[in-house]
Structure formats: C-alpha cells, structure tokens
Amino acid sequence: MAPSLDFSNWWPKDARKGTPVVVKMENPNYSVVEIDGPDAAFRPVEKSRGKNAKQVTWVLLLKAHRAVGCIAWIASFFWALLGTIKKRLIFRQDVAMAIIKAFLLTSLTILAFEVVAYLKGWHYFRNPSLHIPRSTDIQGSLHLVYVTWLSVRADYIAPPIQALSKFCVALFLIQSVDRMILSLGCFWIKYKKIKPRIEGDPFKSDDVEGSAYEYPMVLVQIPMCNEREVYEQSISAVCQLDWPKDRLLVQVLDDSDDESIQYLIKAEVAKWNQKGVNIIYRHRLVRTGYKAGNLKSAMSCEYVQAYEFVAIFDADFQPNPDFLKQTVPHFKDNPDLGLVQARWTFVNKDENLLTRLQNINLCFHFEVEQQVNGVFLNFFGFNGTAGVWRIKALEESGGWLERTTVEDMDIAVRAHLNGWKFIFLNDVKVLCEVPESYEAYRKQQHRWHSGPMHLFRLCLPAIITSKIAIWKKANLILLFFLLRKLILPFYSFTLFCIILPLTMFVPEAELPVWVICYVPVFMSFLNILPSPKSFPFIVPYLLFENTMSVTKFNAMVSGLFQLGSSYEWVVTKKAGRSSESDLLASAERESKIMNQLQIQRGASESELSELNRLKEQKEAAPVPVKRVNKIYRKELTLAFLLLTASVRSLLSAQGVHFYFLLFQGVTFLLVGLDLIGEQMS
C-alpha cells in the first residue's frame, strides 16, 4: 500500500486575522458560536440561521470596550499636552510678557511700513480688500511688498483674528447678561424690601438671673501676621463687643515672625485681659498653611468644643459693639443655617483714586452679587472675615484646609455641597481698609484670582459627585467658577488688550463700536449704581478695570495650571487708618469699660516694665522711610502697544477707536509707572 502523502494538515486552510473567541453559553438552547472579530455578528448570514441575542450583546460590549479605550487614549493625550504646557509655563512663567513684546515689535514694524505707504499715497486703509491694485498698477518693489502684505493679511491673518474676536465678544455678551440679571435681582430686592429679619427679641427673658442662658457660646478669632499698624484697633473693637463676658472668648491668632510685633500684641492682649475680657494669645512656632493653617490650629483646642459659633475678623476689621447681636440671632430656629456674612465698609475709600475705584468694585460685589446670591440661592463665597460660622457646619464640611490660598471660598463650597445655607446681611457693616498702594492691591488681586482656579481643579470631582440638585451643580461650575472667575479675566485681557490693538493693523477684523464703547460704558454704569457718589469716576473705572485684566489673567493662568505663584500668600499692606468719629467712639467706650471694670489681678513688676518699654518704643518717632515708585514691565509694554495702535488708527480715521486706545494706553502708562495710589515704602 502506498504511503499517504497528504500534507494538508501542515498548514491552515485559510489564514484568519485576529484571535478567535469561543463563547460557551450556559443555556443549552444556544449553540457555540465562533467570533472572528467585533464585526462578525453583523456580517450577512444565511436566512435559515436565526439571530442570537447573546451574541449581539457580547459584540456590543466589545465595541463599547474599544470606544472607551479610544476615549481614554484621547483623554490621556490631552492630559499629557496640558502637562507639557504646564512645564513650559513653569520654566518660563513670564510667557505672557514675551508674547506682548512680540506684539509690540510687530506692531511698530507694521506701523513704520504703513506710514511710509501712507506718505507715498497708497491709501488702502478703509477697506483694503476692495482697493488692492492690479499687477499692472504696481509702482515698484516696495509697492509690490505692500500689496503682497495686504493680500496675505486679508486671506490668512484676518480670519483667525475674526474667529477669536467673535468668540471673545460672545463671552463678553454672556458675562454682560449675567451682570444685568444680578442687577435686576438687586432692584427686585430693594423694591420688595427683601432682607433677613430677626423675629422678636431673642435675648429678652423674664428671668433676670437666667437671662445669660439666652446668649449662646461664641468664639471670636482674629488671625494676623506682622500687623503692626492695625492690631491694636482690631483687638480693641472685638474686646468691646456687647456680649456676656462668660459667653465669649477671643482668640488672637498671631503668626508674626517679628518678635517686636509679638511683644506688642501680647501687651495689648494682657491689657484687655486685666480689664476682665476673656482673651487668649496664641502663636504658632511652625507657620504652615498661612491663614487656613492658623485657623485650623486654633480650632483644634479642646476648649473650642464648648462653643457653638465662631466669628472671624481680619486684623484691620473693626466691628461695632452690636455685631454679634445683629448676626447670631439669625441662627436661632434655623438649624440649616451655616454662615451669616456681614458687609464691609471702608474707612479710607476717599484716600486716593485707587481706593475710590476699589470701593466701586467692592460695593457692587457686596450689594449686588453677595446679596442676590444670598437671597435667591442661599449660597455665596465666604469673604474670609466679618462673618459668623456655626462650628458644626465647619466640622461637617471638613474644617479649614491648607490646600489653597482661598480657604474662605474652599470652606464655603464644601459647606454648600453638604447642604448648609448662607445669609448675607447688607445692613450690618464692618469697618476695614482697602489697599492704598498699587503694589499691595496687585498682590491681593493676584491671590484672589489665582486661588479660585486652583480650587476649581481640586473640588470639581466633589461637585460632580455631590448629592445636591443638578441646577446647583450647574450654578457652581458654570457661573460661580467658569463665568465669574475664568471667562471674565480671559475675555477682558484678550479682547481689549490684544485683539483690539491688532485690529488696527488688520482692518478686515475691525471690532464694532458697540463692543468697545456702548456695552462697556453701560456695564460700568451698572457697576457704579451701588455707589452713586462715584459717578464722576466712571471713565477712570472702565479704563482701570481693563488695565487690571493683565494681573487677573496672569493670576488665572497661574491658578489653572498650578504654577508656583498660585500658592503664594503675601499679607496685604495696611495703613492703620481710622476715622475721627471711630477714634472718639473707641476712646469713649474704653473709658466706660475702665470705669465699670475693676482690675482684680495686678501685673508683676517684670510685666509692668515690659509694657512700659513697649509703649515707649511704639510712641517713639518713626524713622522716615523713602518711598519709591516701582516699574511694571507688562503694563508699560502694553501701554506702548496701545499707543502704537492709536497712532495707526489715525491713518484710517477711526475716531472712537483712536480715543479709546489713546486713553487706555495712557492708563496703562500711569499704572506701569506706579503713578496711581500711594507709593510703597
């Protein structure tokens, strides 16, 4: 018998792509199906063969797995891209300055070129695309270069600028609508006279001996750091609060690293302690976490458990004696209330032009933003001071965290996610200061605009997974963070400081007059309504807000990408000013306390000598310090860019654009030379 020479088993009959998958069904009614790939179930099959539901489900799962893998790859790509951008920004955090310089050099070059073209009679400024000459009309090589520039500008440069300007204008209009809605809400509150009210007299009691039990236990905290100018007036105001002494404890939380200031604050605390005030001085050896770490350390004391509420005042705040009686009663019979916030008022608002402009912004913030959000949403950002917290709300929300420089906004967001409600009292005002120098104001604004973006990155997952209503999540993400903290500085800087001057050199992308004049003036008018005495400053206010967009945009980018400056805390410089009426009232209150209280324990000889030494040191004539003007390069560079663009606008006879660019450029120049506000010592 001949040997078998069948080699068909040595190789596969048909090569198949992919890995075969055998699915074994537990149900004996189904057959075993071999699937070559995710699309095998959707290939044409014989009509006699029935469709398998389990098979289709499995294939759909395979498709979903592949889709999820694709989405994950795209997400990882964009995450890596953001990481690369972040690294670039870390190595060169002044990238915005480089871009502005490039724009300035380019604009100067184009301006010189077009001035030459204007002098030669090549007037293609109104609508260059309609007046580009034919090839037979070229008058020379320079004319050819100019005509080529016109064509390239119209075909390649103008379209992206137009697209970006339309995007920024859309954001501008959305933000303007938000401001208008807030203003209408404020008008409605005033028209209906809506405000939180206290029912009856919560402290009235027929039992005289037991009347003290009507007052809850209140803890007052004064965090400070090297506050030589204002520590005395803040401690004095807090110690004169009208509240039973046995139901009140004052904590002076001193983070000063200057020993002379520590001694002065200790002496002030000892003075009020001898007058019968329950006051404690605390100093941390390790100053971590800035203000949040200071408050967290103070709340960890065992005796804090005996208190129900905590009031917080920064070192320059001077509450009236009836502050607690106007705020704490709102918590009664309102177990869901976590925070009562009072309004700020400023003792130095008329000191100079800078303080007047700040007063406009802060009046709108408190009377419109905070009041409207408090009435209609029961939520707003805690201002960090001049407020009373329910200690239970702080504890259930995780307490003070040191992860950002806006610990006040952080605890407010977490408390809101836990279901706590807030109340804003527009009628209860606490006296304080605004920065008088541009350097101090600039650092304050950097912290106030970088911190929220840093916080947004951290708390976004918690907002999405929280159990609050969907509309509250949308309000937090879209309005509270994105629109008012990210979009506002982005479009303000991009539209008015970059796109507008560029459009002078690219007339095809020219912005309409209503964008640069009518709408901004109307929005400035709305912002000034809460402080009607500031109407003469409407034009300086509009120009200065555009100038500050440079600092706010830089801070927003720093917080969004977690750059080094996003976790930088600089204590705002104070002047220690008080109005004459406040000084007289404070002296009168102190004299009454001295007459009513008898010092039961005297001081030792060492304490008396130390107090006398510190008093003499404080009353000694201060050494005169020379005040200098700082130079701000970004503002100066943008000033020259805007002034260059204003000169270019003269060539095309653009009246409104010229005046806006001229005045805006002069404003940048004044700010860049530090000619607004007090100079730094």
The model's pLDDT over 481-515, given as tens digits with 9 standing for 90+, comes to: 999 999 999 999 999 999 999 998 888 888 999 99
SS3 358: helix
pTM tops 0.85: no
Residues 254, 314, 316, 408: which is the catalytic one?
Answer: 408
- 422 vs 75, more confident: 422
Q: Longest C-alpha distance within the chain, in Å?
A: 134
| Beta carbons of 186 and 372 less than 8 angstroms apart | yes
Instruction: Please say if the pLDDT value at position 392 is more than 50.
Output: yes
SS3 annotation, 317-350 = CECCCCHHHHHHHHHCCCCCEEEEEEEEEECCCC
pLDDT, tens digit, 9 for 90 and up, residues 602-624: 444 555 455 556 555 555 545 55
- 204 vs 247, more confident: 247
pLDDT score at 113? 75
The stretches of 466-604 forming alpha helices (DSSP H) are 470-474, 488-493, 500-505, 513, 519-528, 538-560, 580-596
- Least confident range from 92-101, 311-320, 374-383, 465-474: namely 92-101
Cα–Cα distance, 194 to 188 (Å, whole number): 8
Give the model's confidence band at 593: pLDDT under 50 very low, under 70 low, under 90 confident, else very high: very low
Chain position carrying tokens 């002030």: 268
Chain position carrying tokens 């007063």: 359
Report the pLDDT averaged over residues 31-43: 53
pLDDT score at 101? 78
The residues, ordered by sequence, that sit 6+ positions from 553 with a Cβ below 8 Å of its Cβ are 96, 489, 490, 492, 493, 494
Instruction: Please say if the pLDDT value at position 562 is more than 60.
Output: yes
What is 586-648 written as a DSSP string?
HHHHHHHHHHH----SPPPHHHHHHHHHHHHHHHSPPPP---B----HHHHHHHHHHHHHHHH
Q: Report CA-CA distances (Å) from 325 to 201, 216, 495, 596.
A: 10, 11, 48, 21
pLDDT, tens digit, 9 for 90 and up, residues 309-351: 999 999 999 999 999 999 999 999 899 999 999 999 999 999 9
Residues in the chain: 681
Beta-bridged to residue 311, according to DSSP, are 220, 388
Chain position carrying tokens 């008898």: 598
Give the model's confidence band at 540: pLDDT under 50 very low, under 70 low, under 90 confident, else very high: very high
Residues 255, 314, 316, 410: which is the catalytic one?
Answer: 255
- 285 vs 668, more confident: 668
Catalytic-residue membership of 255? yes
H or E segment to which residue 23 belongs: strand 21-23
Catalytic-residue membership of 314? no
CA-based torsion, 95, 97, 102, 107: positive or negative: positive
Cα–Cα distance, 651 to 661 (Å, whole number): 14
CA-based torsion, 227, 229, 231, 234: positive or negative: negative
Cα–Cα distance, 142 to 164 (Å, whole number): 31
Give the model's confidence band at 516: pLDDT under 50 very low, under 70 low, under 90 confident, else very high: very high
Domain residue ranges of the chain, discontinuous segments joined by + = 63-92, 96-171+437-571+627-680, 218-436
Report the pLDDT averaged over residues 623-650: 83
pLDDT score at 136? 47
Chain position carrying tokens 């937090």: 476
Cα angle value 189/185/374 (rounded, 5°): 75
Cα–Cα distance, 260 to 286 (Å, whole number): 18
Give the model's confidence band at 34: pLDDT under 50 very low, under 70 low, under 90 confident, else very high: low
The residues, ordered by sequence, that sit 6+ positions from 601 with a Cβ below 8 Å of its Cβ are 274
Cα–Cα distance, 81 to 76 (Å, whole number): 8
CATH number of 218-436: 3.90.550.10
pLDDT score at 446? 92
Q: What is the mean pLDDT of the chain?
A: 82
Instruction: Please say if the pLDDT value at position 283 is more than 50.
Output: yes
Q: Which of 569, 555, 365 is nearest to 454 (CA)?
A: 555
| Beta carbons of 162 and 154 less than 8 angstroms apart | no
- 146 vs 281, more confident: 281
Give the model's confidence band at 9: pLDDT under 50 very low, under 70 low, under 90 confident, else very high: low
Report the pLDDT averaged over residues 451-457: 94
pLDDT score at 87? 57
Read off the amino acid at residue 19: T
pLDDT score at 610? 56
Percent over 70 (pLDDT), the chain: 75
